[in-house]
Structure 1
Amino acid sequence: MKILSTRFSARALASAALALCAFAATAQPFPSRPVTLVVPFAPGASADGIARIVGRELSTALGQPVVVDNKPGGGGATGLIGVAKSAPDGYTIGMGATGAIVVNPNLPDAAPLKPQEQLAPVAKVADIPLVLVAGAKTGLRDLRGFIEKARATPEGTSYGTTGQYTAQHLAGELLASMAKLKLVAVPYRGSGPAVTDLLGGQLPVAVVDLTSAYPHIKSGALVALGVTSATRSAVAPEIPTIAEGGVPGYSATAWMGLFAPVKAPPEAIEKLAGAIQAVVAKPEVQSQIVGLAAEPRYLGPAGFKSFIHAESDKWAGVIASIPAPQK
């Protein structure tokens, strides 16, 4: 009996020691070790560049290393699925963008990611300016002229996009709906090829990212009809918004933000959000983000969550109105 009692006491002491160690680990203030930032895009892309700027500065703000881990695939969903399945302790976060968060979940063949159920919004970081642009050979000079010409073309006006259900495509479909136009989407593999056909006269207009079009807009080879955001772009403040140009209330924004697993501790999310807010407020960080043709645009956890709900509802309605692609 004495031997059993001794063994039991030893086991009890060992268990108590482990429990104390676990308690000590959880009692440490967040963060007490490195944070992993999953970027679901390939290295070298503008989204990757923004994530690395934020990650570097966030490391300084948190006092712990922030390790960027690129996991591209699935239109930005693959890496976020990994984030959703990670330990909900705040030490794994991910960069999410418009497509994976509010567009893809509304598609019939959606990836197995349910952002509003599996991910906790931490902070919105940046907006990605898009622009409706016309080739100089079209003779178009502003949005009103384009709308008049499109309404006088009953068979429909072609416009270039960066692919089916991308932010560029949906921005065009929203314009068609709000301005009561018949627009025919022509998918390209990115903004670059669409801009090439605009310059060559094979395509009248396109919705592309401002980065690809802006040099040609400045040279006069392309004509900017309007940016798709609700406010003018800091990258090109001389270009009016589509809402200003004649479609009141129009807004179609591409954006990026940070997410944690849905059950991450609220105190960890608040700590991350506060650090990100301080980072995005830095003038040198803002200039670096603008240098990548994006715009710093912070929203905290609650505001970002409401924004995502509204965006998802908006794009669900637009997607439902688009005829299914021909197979």
Structure 2
Amino acid sequence: MTRTLVAAVAAFTITATTAFAADPYPTRPITVIVPFAGGSASDVLARVVLERMSNTIGQRFVVDNRPGAGGNIGSQVVANAAPDGYTLLYAGSGPLAVNKTLMPNLGYDPEKDFAPVTLSVVLPNVIVVNPKVPANSLKELVAYAKANPKSLYYGSVGIGSSQHLAGVSFEQITGAQIVHVPYRAGPQMSADLISGETQLGFQLLPNVLAGVRAGQIKPLAVTGDKRMPALPDVPTVAESGLPDYKAGSWFALMAPRGTPPEIVARLQKEHDAAMKDPELRARYVELGAEPVMLGPDEAARFISSEVATWRDIIRKGGITIGQ
């Protein structure tokens, strides 16, 4: 090989290597695992923000629904994925906080095995009753429940769900005794609340909004710090006399532990830009969700605080996955 040819090959190698190293993230579609079924709250919320992010980041976000085991199956896939920014998780309080206490053998640690990108949205619960329940306020509901122990049945999508733990927390704070009824699917849970098979609910807004608007379900209070724009006449639990009662759900965008900080920062930047879009925010209002923009460190601290909060409630309530 001539000296000229050697020099040419070396120059090409250096140029190609430099170009490869300079390729900006992302260079191909990004898979986002949602550990719940299509059409679930997490799935709908994820698609709203990811569609907006796709428009600016230059690549598609491909949602991969991996339901099962309370969100653990899909979450574990991401915990074990390569930390290159091409496999992410969009999950909520169940797999990222509650399940650490509820299911000791997760196969991953939500506080150690992920690099938080951002807390994305929070969703307060709406405390609702069947119209036959003789209560028109949260105060009247508490009085009725205490005077009639175990006469009110409330549904949830499963043990450890936000609806279930909202009910457990309600019992612990008020001293009332109510009965939990777990369902396999949300539509049946909502149908039974309308029919009166169950009389009480601690529900996410999308599950009950149609019934509320039709007068088939009566809303008494929302568990957030402020009233919901979709239900402006429904007071908060603090306004209703239970300032210490907090319940609801939230969702966060997570990457595998070890993902380069510059990739996490890019994803956070795109997420925050999406959250400032007026159309996106209006869509979230319709879904009863409040957009959030917490950085990686703040999100990590928030998740740890949620793990501790629900650990106390679960242990005090004696909740196990087998009950």
* Matched ranges for 1:10-21 at <5 A: none
* Matched ranges for 1:167-246 at <5 A: 167-246=162-241
Q: Quote the offset at 1:156 in angstroms.
A: 6.3
Equivalent residue, structure 2, for 1:67: 62
Secondary structure of 1:239 counterpart: coil
Structure 1 letter corresponding to 2:127: L
Equivalent residue, structure 1, for 2:280: 285
Structure 2 letter corresponding to 1:238: D
Between the aligned partners of 1:184 and 1:193, the Cα distance in structure 2 is 17
Equivalent residue, structure 2, for 1:4: none
Which range moved further: 162-171 or 33-42? 33-42
Of 35, 45, 66, the match for 1:50: 45
Equivalent residue, structure 2, for 1:85: 80
Of 286, 289, 297, the match for 1:302: 297
Alpha carbons 2:150, 2:179 under 8 Å: kept? no
Alpha carbons 2:149, 2:178 under 8 Å: kept? no
1:266-310 Cα offsets, whole Å, 9 max, x none, are 111111101100001101112233344433233221221121111
Which range moved further: 229-238 or 22-31? 22-31
Between the aligned partners of 2:35 and 2:217, the Cα distance in structure 1 is 32
Alpha carbons 1:142, 1:225 under 8 Å: kept? yes
Query: Is 1:149 matched with 2:150?
Result: no
Which range moved further: 311-320 or 297-306? 297-306
TM-score (norm 1): 0.86
Between the aligned partners of 1:88 and 1:168, the Cα distance in structure 2 is 33
Of 236, 244, 249, the match for 2:244: 249
1:144-199 Cα offsets, whole Å, 9 max, x none, are 00111222235564333332111100011112112232232222334433333333
Secondary structure of 1:244 counterpart: coil
TM-score (norm 2): 0.87
Query: Is 1:263 matched with 2:258?
Result: yes
Alpha carbons 2:129, 2:219 under 8 Å: kept? yes
Query: Is 1:104 matched with 2:82?
Result: no
- Displacement over 4 Å in runs of 4+: 16-24, 154-157, 324-327
Between the aligned partners of 1:18 and 1:92, the Cα distance in structure 2 is 30
How many residue pairs get aligned? The number is 317
Query: Is 1:159 matched with 2:143?
Result: no
Equivalent residue, structure 2, for 1:140: 135
Q: Quote the offset at 1:23 in angstroms.
A: 6.6
Alpha carbons 1:71, 1:78 under 8 Å: kept? yes
Q: Quote the offset at 1:64 in angstroms.
A: 2.6
Q: Unpaired segments of 5 or more residues in structure 1?
A: 1-9
Q: Quote the offset at 1:258 in angstroms.
A: 0.5
Which range moved further: 122-131 or 97-106? 122-131
Secondary structure of 2:239 counterpart: helix
Q: 1:36 to 1:17 in 2, by over 3 A?
A: farther
Identity level (%): 35
Q: Quote the offset at 1:245 in angstroms.
A: 1.1
Alpha carbons 1:131, 1:208 under 8 Å: kept? yes
Root-mean-square deviation (CA, aligned residues, Å) is 2.8
Alpha carbons 1:233, 1:295 under 8 Å: kept? no
